[in-house]
A and B are shown apart, each in its own frame.
Chain A
Amino acid sequence: MHPRPFARREGGALMIAFVIRRLVQGVLVMLVVGFIAFSLFNFVGDPVALMLPPEATQADRQAMRENLGLDRPFYVQFATFVTNAVQGNFGISLRLGRPVSALLVERMPATLELAFIAASLALLVGIPLGVYTGLHRNSWLSRLFLAGSLIGVSLPTFLIGIFLILIFAVWLGVLPSFGRGDTTMVGGWSTGFLTASGLKALILPSITLGLFQLTLIMRLVRSEMLEVLRTDYIKFARARGLTSRAVNFGHALKNTLVPVITITGLQLGAIIAFAIITETVFQWPGMGLLFIQAVQFADIPVMAAYLCLIGFIFVIINLVVDMLYYLVDPRLRVDRTAVGGH
């Protein structure tokens, strides 16, 4: 487990090269995403026609073109777009008439709180269920959990939401079916954590969003547990007379956590993507709902900004997960592309 000092020094240089390569790749991806967003702006519909009233004269149009820099060569326009985008300036929403960056900042807390609760739920329930089904693989309760997880995988997110609304909001009438409830502002961040109605409003959406991840983590922990429990060092630990509690949790569970952490990291991105669906079902005022409405109304600035933001989040997540992998698993310190692109 402990590399020799020499290996570590060599690993350090390799690590830097690895990080730089990933960074370059990340920047390239962002440029491609930015280019798509930029093309949306410039080639889809005429931005001048979108911004000016219909009775504007030809001179007005020309002035507007020059004002927006649309008469300049294409690469200059792209450079301007990238400069603006890096500073968070994406223009004004066509539908809402407000700066896109302000809209996104305003909607971000709702999405992040929902994603956070959903991810916690998936981890806090998924890991114990995975450990249980791994340790007692033949009990009827394990079979029940596994069958349930299979159904959970086949249920599309929006249907889970609809069924939960039908049961808990329409039939039982105990939980709200849309919106965030009352929110309080804490230093520019609108939170739903501090009011009873805000917390109640979080329950159904976070279950909807977290259920798929929960089943995924449960199955992952289970299969990792089954694998680890077969290894020699677990047998040896048992032979040494350690309590099964110490063996199961101290030795076995600890060794399953590496893949769980990385998969969860990658799933964070998926949670933010699937938040679009959950937010639509529950009319949750987050970024995903903003994006879907932008698509329906052809609100290009919002679409472009969301595209860039999501691209950025994914690049960052992938970078961090790749680096974690690299730190945690020495086998990956060989060039991954040389192994065959796994």
Chain B
Amino acid sequence: MDAVRRFLDGDIFHSFSRSPLTIVAFVVTVVCVLSAVFAGWVAPHNPFDLKTLNLLDAFTPPAWTERGNPAYFLGTDDQGRDVLSAIMYGSRVSLMVGFLAVMLSMVLGIALGLVSGYVGGKVDAFIMRVADVQLSFPAILIALLIDGVARVALPKDSHDTLALYVLVLAIAASGWVQYARTVRGSTLVERNKEYVQAARVIGRHPVAIMFSHVLPNVLGPVLVLATLHIATAIITEATLSFLGVGVPPTQPSLGTLIRIGNDFLFSGEWWITVFPGAWLVIMVLAMNLLGDWLRDALNPKLR
């Protein structure tokens, strides 16, 4: 109760309640995340339950148009799946891939950044050189290449089961540099402080010093970076899935839905692709706004 009080009186909540745009972004993000997580309960239909699909309902336009059916608010696709439900289930895959990729990226980047900053010397030079080189290529290209190579390298029949993990790995590997650089920078500052010297004097193992003493003190900026990274990771996932090298069609994400719908654009069934696309843009925009706000709110220099 006390903690809640302190939070409500605090700077961050104050800055939050003063910015209507941030509140809207927060609400939109929460709605998107909740509808994805609880898709099984919230969605009006189960688009993957073949028993409930009715091919006669295929290509139903949105409910407010002339031929619309109120049972399918945003219309149906070529197999009679409810677009709204498919979006909710699809954003679950998108969010999961984005979230896992960011977590993995963060773990990788933090570990390499800590080692680089704390150990220094040749190890540091090597890790930072690799980071420099990787940073000179766009992240999406790195993810595409890793994903493409993995698809060729893995046996064909394991594609569908592994595709999701390969995708997470590819996106994670394309994003670790930012974390490593940030953590390395703060570690260079922290390693000379007295508490680290004290830990060294009492004979703690370097790994223990890095992870239990230095790590908590360099984590702040990393968390801000992560909130902004989730939106990027979701876009990367959607792009790869749209290009046909992402998640398998049996587990469609928002990008896969847009790819499927794209085939029907010319026959006039625009809703199959436009609504998943719009959902993706709104979700990413809200997350970006929220991340921007958090970055400013946590940075005392900008106040």
A: residues with CB less than 8 A from B are: 25, 29, 36, 40, 43-45, 150-151, 153-159, 162-163, 165-166, 170, 177, 266, 269-270, 273-274, 276-277, 280-281, 292, 295-296, 298, 300, 303, 307, 310, 314, 318, 337, 340-341
Contact = CB atoms under 8 A, between A and B. Distances in A.
B243 A276 contact: yes
Contact of B284 (A36, A154, A170, A314): A154
Contacts of B288: 150, 153-154
A269 B137 contact: yes
Interface stretch (B103-111, B149-157, B216-224): B149-157
B138 A273 contact: yes
A165 B22 CA distance: 32
A292 B245 contact: yes
The 5 A-B residue pairs whose C-beta atoms are closest, nearest first, are A295-B148, A273-B141, A154-B285, A273-B138, A298-B152
B141 A310 contact: yes
B41 interface: no
Q: How large is the interface on B (under 10, 10 to 19, 20 to 34, 35 or more residues)?
A: 35 or more
Contact of A296 (B125, B133, B138, B244): B244
Contacts of A296: 244-245
Interface stretch (B59-67, B263-271, B294-302): B263-271
Contacts of B243: 158, 276-277, 280, 292
| Majority DSSP secondary structure for residues of A touching B | helix
A196 B243 CA distance: 30
Contacts of A276: 141, 144, 243
B172 interface: no
B44 interface: no
Interface in B248-290: 258, 262, 265-266, 268, 270, 273-274, 277, 280-281, 284-285, 288
B140 A163 contact: no
A87 B242 CA distance: 35
A156 B235 contact: yes
Given A29-B133, A162-B265, A341-B132, A273 B281 contact: no
22 contacts: A29-B133, A36-B149, A40-B152, A154-B231, A154-B284, A156-B280, A158-B258, A159-B258, A159-B277, A162-B258, A162-B273, A166-B273, A170-B270, A273-B140, A277-B239, A277-B242, A277-B243, A292-B243, A295-B147, A298-B152, A303-B148, A341-B132
